[in-house]
Amino acid sequence: MCMFQYDDDPDPEEQVPAGLLYVPVRPEAAGRALRMFRTALGERAAVGFTSQDLLAATLGAGQPSIRLAESLLRSLTSPLGVSRLVVDPVFSAAAVSTEPVHTAEEPVRSL
């Protein structure tokens, strides 16, 4: 039991409005499409960042984005069955490499 009460700390499950977000997009023939991500448990999620610097730090400086209000982002992703919105995620998986990984114990062989 917590002996202290913090009036300004929201419950972790409580949705607090995030305001305008930088939302990652990908180019498509008809324009731009929102990028969807997966949580650590595999649930589809929309992602938004409160600053361009946070987006670049997580997804790279070349990641295109658009500004959307949180409510608009939720209304765009809801018909897709995506109800989770992650704001300012700090962890992301490393890019997938098609090159084989060699250890010091395993010599590189050429054909």
59, pLDDT greater than 80: yes
Quick: pLDDT tens for 28-39: 999 999 999 998
Distance CA 78, CA 16 (A): 18
pLDDT in tens, 3-30: 445 555 555 555 556 689 999 999 999 9
Region 40-50: mean pLDDT is 93
Paired residues of 109 in beta bridges: none
Q: Give pLDDT, residue 26.
A: 94
Separation of alpha carbons 12 and 35, rounded Å: 25
Q: Is the pLDDT of residue 100 over 80?
A: no
Instruction: Report strand pairing: 65-69 vs 36-38.
Output: unpaired
